Amino acid sequence: MYVVFGLNGFLNFMGEPPPMPEKAGILMGAFMAVGYMLPLIKGTEVLGGLLLLSGRFAALGLVILAPITLNIVLFHAVLAPENMYLQIGMLVAHVFLMWRRWPIYRPMFS
C-alpha cells in the first residue's frame, strides 16, 4: 500500500483524487505550495514500503513508516473522518507487525 500510494504521488497513475473536505484540501494545497513536502512524504512512503516488503529490513521500514501511518490516521480522523476503514486497518497492521518484532524495538524504549 505504501509503495503504490507513494509512487502514485510521483507518477499519478491513479488519476485525480476524490474531492476532500475544505480543511483537508487547504492542508494538501499548502503541502503542494511548499514544494518539497509531498515529495518528501511520498518518497518516505516508497522507501519504508520497500524496506517492509524486503523482509530483511522490515523492522527499519516500520520505524520509518510509523510517523507516516500516524499522520494518515490523524489526517483522516480530524479532517476527513468518513470511511476510515482503510486507515484503521493500516494502523492495526502496523501495530501488529511492530508487536511481532517487539524484541527489536525494546531497546528504543528503555
pTM for the predicted model, two decimal places: 0.88
pLDDT, residue 20, reads: 87
Q: How far apart, in whole angstroms, are the C-alpha atoms of residue 1 and residue 86?
A: 10
More confident residue, 18 or 37: 37
Q: How does pLDDT run across 21-43, given as a tens digit for each residue?
A: 999 999 999 998 999 999 999 99
Crossing angle of the two packed helices 37-54 and 58-79, in degrees rounded to 10: 130
User: Averaged over 50-63, what is the pLDDT?
Assistant: 95
pLDDT, residue 16, reads: 85
What is the overall mean pLDDT for the chain? 93
First to last CA, the chain: 31
**CB–CB of 65/50 below 8 Å?**
no
pLDDT, residue 82, reads: 85
